Structure 1
Amino acid sequence: MKGERVAQLELLLKSHPEGLRRAEIARRLGVHRSTISRYVEELKNKVELIDDNNLIKIKNPPDEQEIENLSLYEALALNMSAEALVSSIDIQNPHLASGLRKIAMSMRSYAPKISDNIFALADKIEKSLENSTNRTKVYNKILEVLIDCWVSGHIARMIVESGEEVEMAPYFIGFKEDSLGRYPITVTGRLRHTMDIVTINISGIKSAIMLDETYTIPDNLKPFKTKEKTPGYDAIDMIPLTIKIKERSALNSFSTIIHSDIETKINEKGELICSFKAENSIETMLRIIQSGTSVEVLSPESYKKRLLSYLESIINIYRK
């Protein structure tokens, strides 16, 4: 127990390089003031302490780095920030990993676990940079081959992500543009021995070489067709419904079966009334039943009767 208190005292004093009074140390450690002197004397065997106007502090060597004076909370905040840096690819670089290692070294004496964690984070950053560099080298090499093929009019042979071998006559390189600039992401061309034109993500290509066979881009090359949007479902049989909504969220369950604008109004009792055209289908009935007491059908009367008849037929099944 005494050794634990001495370790806590060392951490406390390193977190407060300006020094602390004995009463404050006792309060922070949760011990009686009379016992502090024993812990101080024990700690003197490990580090050099000074008593400056009743302030107990650790005497730092003149060349000691200021980073060693981090408080416990500062160390924790630094540790969490370092973890966030690992996932921030845009700002990762070797200097960041090196700097984190130096900080971890400075924290070794008073926050060993956090220090070890920061060392591990620095290793992760370096490993991530190494993998990223390797991927970039492969990407740039493949892009160079594709551009050479396109410029010289030669067929490219590629191994794609699935392991399949593809031979293509590159027609053009596709680019993506964002706030950081414009960079190539795809290659589009005709598959060899076919008339099929395909687009392949460059990042999914494992290797690429230029073949001796040449090709020419046809002068009458037509714009590539985009897939037409599938027309939405147009319900033939519609029914005008007016419902009373007791819980507004219940209206969300009707979103896929409503085929008109929703007209809303508040009646004299302050209740929300909604009118719209919905599919005259079993699906609409199921949505109403699913909403329970949150929804009440007001009109048409014929639909109310049909809904009631449907509910009774369900109940009768379980009455047998």
Structure 2
Amino acid sequence: MDRLRKTERMMRVWLLLHQNPLRYSAQDLAERFEVTSRTIYRDLMTLSEDIRVPVYSEKGRWAVQEDYYLPPIRLAIPEALHVFLAVRLMARFDHHYNPYVDSTFRSLGSILPEPLKAHIQRTLDWMHSLPKDEKHLRVLRAVAEAWASRRQLKIFYRALDDERPTERIIAPYHIEPAAPGHASYVIAHCYLRNATRVFKIERIESAVLLNETYAIPDDFDPDAFLGSAWGIIVEGPVQKVRLRINDRAVMRLMTETIWHPSQTFEKQRDGSTIMTLEVMNTVELCSWILGWGDAMEVLSPPELRQRVAEIARAITLLYAPQSTPPKDGDRSHFRHPG
């Protein structure tokens, strides 16, 4: 793993010197990459003697020969636009500064045409002002390293309903972002439960990389695993969900967006539209339905219709004048599984 980190650092030094010739001294590079000046000199020597990258210095500042570089990549405007959209999504996804996101998009920004390069630079400069969550970065890196190296990971995980974290050994199969909750999840085999489970990375208190290795099953397909989920929660059987949409504007929003691959629409004589889905009946689906208010009515399955109705009644009581708010124990409808 140390060799992998050294290689990654040298590639970043190489890229930085190419983009900023004769700007950085060895001490500047050492501070930027949080190593000693001696380590930077060793990296520069490796680049020069072993990899044959023509690095040179003038007055103590380093550069890479201008005409020597990796095969150039040029992105067309539509391709570059998707890099820009990706960095904007990341900026809204996690309201913390992530140096890995920063370095990734700064590297990609170097091959983009103007003015998209400048737009990305401004977004990254703004992200740099956000607070940094060191614990989350450590956990995220450990999860990524376990996944990449196929090594088991010991985590201390605090589920939503748990007062204290429990120790688990997991074998990561896949890492998946979930935009609605501004969170990332690791799909993994849990040795404690002897089953595939979904863990919210933000709920992992600490993570330790183990020496024991594992293999991802040949038949594991993350898209198939999540295919019938409304979001990230994989729970319960797949059911046919029928929703009546009564509002004209909401009808248009529904039909112009692919909310789930299984969705179909059927126009009714009374002017409403029936939306049909083949999905798991989870809290994520229920929350989404409630978000449309009285513009959407659950027709089936009956248990989902009942749950939505119960929550609607609880909300009515909560906002009724001089009403008594429901007790904590009555808020089970809103609870998100751990």
The answer to whether the superposition gives a TM-score over 0.5 is no
* TM-score, L = length of structure 1: 0.30
Q: Which has the larger radius of gyration?
A: 1
* TM-score, L = length of structure 2: 0.29
